Amino acid sequence: MSTQPNVLATPRRSFDSRRFLDDWAMMLAALAIFALCALFIDNFLSPLNMRGLGLAISTTGIAACTMLFCLASGHFDLSIGSVIACAGVVAAVVMREFHSVALGVTAALVMGLCVGLINGLVIAKLKINALIATLATMQIVRGLGYIFSNGKAVGVMEEQFFVFGNGQLFGVPVPIVITLVCILFFGWLLNYTTFGRNTLAIGGNEEAALLAGVHVDRTKIIIFAMHGVIGALAGVVLASRMTSGQPMIGQGFELTVISACVLGGVSLAGGIGMIRHVIAGVLILAVIENAMNLKNIDTFYQYVIRGTILLLAVVIDRLKQR
């Protein structure tokens, strides 16, 4: 068909520099920071340090994948730090009692699922603000972790359990493999499924999504349930790395995960979010922390620097919207 009289003139695919910046700026920043560290900091690129960096990324990275969905739908989840700790404890306790790795891991994931479902149901069905709802579950779950463990770290004896944290697959540490799989899977989920697109639509305009026929409540419940399970998975990996379930870890972890997402470009108000934002945010935070450690910068200063970076990112985000 070479002679079609009224073909639509191909729309001008003019290069939208602003849109490009929105989408890729933080990714480029992350790579730039990585390159700078590689150039100016000794031992940064050493295999040992790269391995450490990868492991440092893994816990945040896994949890950030699903936090992306919470944020994209216009909510967030503060209970994730407690879920991580509690999942480790549950896995360790169950393994202590039943000597079964499968049972321990399953129990941890089921615990995460339950917390997520409760969060989702309370937020979607009872229309309670995610801040309050997850603040409550954060404390409940933290408390449960202490109760299950009697407030002490629970050691794990099962050798097989250590595969999650310390094993290797084709020479790559398993936590990094799990993180990569999560990033690929959730990136795909967000872009190529109706569930992912609906998540963004709900965050962008819940009322409009409802009127357009989106299953708003169901989508929200799935998002939080998914986040609970993935949080528990991160907890299992962490417990495996530490060879014990510790009820006190992960305090403030929820804020690190949210910071990483927002730093990468995910909107706190919902409606904007991409997996590359998550990658960029997690990478920037981890690389800077790693660099500060290599430079022997005092932990006290590290807090100040991390906070400043986050503030800067949010201000830039605000300016972009003008």
Partner 1 sequence: MDAVRQPVLNDSLAFQNIGKTFPGVNALSDISFTARPGSVHALMGENGAGKSTLLKVLGGYYQPSSGHLRIGEHEVVFRNTADSIRNGVAVIHQELQLVPEMTVAENLFLGHLPARYGIVNHRQLRQQALQLLKGLAEEIDPNVRVGRLSLGQRQLVEIAKALSRGAHVIAFDEPTSSLSARETERLMAIIARLRDEGRVVLYVSHRMEEVFHICDAVTVFKDGRHVRTFEQMSEITPDQLITCMVGRSLDDIYDYRSREKGGGCLSVSGLLGPGLQKPVSFEVCQGEILGLFGLVGAGRTELLRLLAGLERHKAGSLALKGEPLTLRSPRDAIAAGILLCPEDRKKEGIVPLASVAENINISARSSHATWNCLIHGRWEKENAEKQIRALNVKTPTPDQRIKNLSGGNQQKAILGRWLSMPMKVLLLDEPTRGIDIGAKSEIYQIIHSLAAKGIAVVVVSSDLMEIMGIADRVMVMSEGAVTGELSRTEATEEKLLELALPRTRA
Question: CA–CA separation, 277 vs 64, rounded Å?
Answer: 10
Long-range contacts made by residues 101-104, C-beta under 8 angstroms, separation at least 24?
A: 101/158, 101/160, 101/161, 104/158, 104/161
Interface stretch with partner 1, choices 31-39, 179-187, 232-240, 264-272 (CB under 8 A): 264-272
* Beta carbon nearer to partner 1, 100 or 205: 205
Residues 280 and 183: beta-carbon distance below 8 Å: no
What H or E segment, with its residue span, contains residue 172? strand 172-173
CB of 13 to partner 1, least distance (A): 6
Cβ of residue 145: shortest distance to partner 1, in angstroms? 34
User: Rounded to whole angstroms, how far apart are CA atoms 128 and 142?
Assistant: 21
On whether the CB atoms of residues 309 and 292 are closer than 8 A, the answer is no
Distance (Å, whole) CA 221 – CA 309: 32
Answer yes or no whether residue 47 interacts with partner 1 by CB under 8 A. Answer: no
Report the residue from 204, 243, 302, 316 that binds partner 1 according to the rule CB under 8 A. 204
When asked if residue 213 is in the footprint of partner 1 (CB under 8 A), the reply is yes
- Give the contacts of 219 (CB within 8 A, at least 6 positions apart): 73, 195, 198, 199, 202
- Outline where 41-129 has alpha helix (H): 47-72, 80-98, 101-124
Q: How far is the CB of 284 from partner 1 (least distance, A)?
A: 23
Q: Which is nearer to partner 1, 47 or 318 (CB)?
A: 318
Q: Which of 42, 159, 207, 298 binds partner 1 (CB under 8 A)?
A: 207
Using the rule CB under 8 A, is 200 a contact of partner 1? yes
Question: Quick check: 144 binds partner 1 (CB under 8 A)?
Answer: no
* 208 belongs to the binding site for partner 1 (CB under 8 A): yes
User: Does residue 25 bind partner 1 (CB under 8 A)?
Assistant: no
The footprint of partner 1 (CB under 8 A) covers 8, 11-14, 191-195, 197-198, 200-201, 204-205, 207-215, 267, 271-272
